[in-house]
Structure 1
Amino acid sequence: MANTAETAAAPGTPVVRLDGVSREYGKASGAFAAVSDLSLDVPRGSFTTLLGPSGCGKTTTLRMIAGFVRPTSGRILLEGADATSTPPEKRNIGMVFQSYALFPHMTLRDNVAFGLRTRRIAKPEVLRRAGEALELVGLSHLADRRPAQLSGGQQQRVALARAVAVRPSVLLLDEPLSNLDARLRVQMRQELLRVQRETGLTAVLVTHDQDEALELSDHLVIMNGGRLEQQGAPREVFPAPANRFVAEFLGYQNFLTVPGHGPVTVRPEHTRLLADGEAAGGDGVLLDAQVRGVTYQGSHCLVEVAAASGDGEATLHCLHPGDDVRPGARVRIALPHRHLVALAGGAGTEDR
């Protein structure tokens, strides 16, 4: 089922462009900015993820793209046309909600067909598209069932089929997997990615789950305090976080100041605890440290140490393959130069 959106623009035109968009709540004297001066392009055919903690502005941004919230300032362009004031029903948007929002009294076929009928599409075409969409998510054999007869994962797939069936310019996904258990979340990630690739749809996902974002996205947008902290391909952003906020949100745990490098971060899996007499290899920073704690994690232990840093003592974590380390032991830690990430960008918007 190839994507043929109802409207089209030049191939190089972003499907969504946010041009200096802000959204404030409250009166002027005590206004709160949920989103501040956000400029962002969503490339055609991309899977773009807005990633960040609760309250960072990602859901407000998604709702502005959908038309449910109007920006206080700035412009929203869809397919190259100014849609800032365009109502949601005229934006050719498909949306999958956290709560599925299926009609309990309707069959799956009728749920998927609902958006098509509101667009006054001829009945034979409605049935054909609804059937295609259900087949795409592997539920055509359950078309006559009702939502209550399905599992949570199946209901989410119906919601996805309904959004895809209208052939939207952009598919918006508002934390659609958060209500599923861990096993189903992994399965549905794969399902989402498969559907997006098979249809060629432009998708925008909101999530606070870094694993979900890294697995699904080809365009990652990290937000904090209503502002954009960093964006790019996950393979570019993950190894080179712009500042401490981004690093911490992506799972970096070790922060210290190294003479000649300044403030840096390095992931636990790249931090080596040296055995007695083991050489550091000559290509890294070597630190004397004391073990504070050891946590068994199955295939390895997570070792927490206190080490001297350029600006005082730093708490570091490293993964160690054995269980031969005890709290209080004096050890040496090696930090390979190639894995040290300079944090030239500062701490992020929270400290601006």
Structure 2
Amino acid sequence: MRRLLGVSGAAAVTLLSPRALAGTRITVKHVRLARHNGVTQVIFDLSGPVEHSLFALSKPERVVIDFKNAQVAGGMRVKPSAPVHGLRYARRGLNDLRVVLDLDKGSRPSSRLLKPQGGDGYRLVVDLAALSAATPAPVMTAAAAQSTTRLRDVVVAIDPGHGGVDPGAVGKRGTYEKNVVLAIARRLEALIKKTPGMQPYLIRRGDQYVSLRERLRKARAKKADLFISIHADASPYRYPKGSTVYVLSERGASSEAARLLAQRQNEVDRVAGVNLSTKDNLVASVLVDLAQTATRESSFKLGEHLTANINRVIRLHSRSVERAAFVVLKSPDIPSALVETAFISNPSEERLLRTPVFQQRMAVALHAGVADYFNRYAPSGTLLAARHRAVRALS
């Protein structure tokens, strides 16, 4: 690994004021880590001066840097070096860029925009000063982890689609979607109930109608760690067949963020444990955006595990995880996936959906996908997370 040098030192630099900066799109050309006087520095090489803001979050510890009117050239990677163990970035809105530094421990961030004398471009230097007991960080808590000493089960919300006056799709033989997906959901519930460290929660237990928003509300009230919605696909044609897994699209996430922000006066509107009604526009927007970004990433990982296991039971209609704006996928802080188990409009797959053998095999595949996901991403404070840490320590 080549040695990374700090910005402060022999080379003279000019410190820039944060007044109105050029409206030209700025490019982040490179990022690197350095240490100077015991302080870790994250140095961004830029094509020009950039407007930016930064703040810290805890549980888990991270620092968020927002670049206005900026983009990335190629990509950004850093070799982990304490306290930075990871770097993520994504487009924010149409023109802005958000960078998240994942940290091992809390830090007090500060930044300087520099113009090296005799050199090209600009540098943004983010200093990550270690916290002491006497200097707490100016942190907003996302409350994503529990601080209790008692380990808990993960909660899996199982949502059988449709129900009651809403039968869903109906096959040529008169098979109701609402009935077959409930049968699969009950079998999945039984499997999860037998799994140590997991607790199932069935959104509807019988043939009753539950609105889409009520399904989300019920899952969040139960503090679900995952949400699986089970459906049977349909087409006006007889030949489409196979299974598809969906997660929330970016457009769906944006519309849900706008809805949450517009209604945050409502005490119920909480994201990652934080009551939005107590936050101003900027803070509320940041909290929703961070929660949604993390949740969409987790949902896609869940979708990949589900797809891999379903493929052992039935051919896939779509081999990749698809994205759509289904309402039941819009919980901003619960990783969620919608599974179209088979085409009820296809005669052969309608027959499959009616059989207890296929229903059980599909439930086993969904259970395996959920188990595979939690093997990698069990939330802290849960029995599964503690068990996996112990296994890794012995290996």
TM-score normalised by length of structure 2: 0.22
TM-score normalised by length of structure 1: 0.24
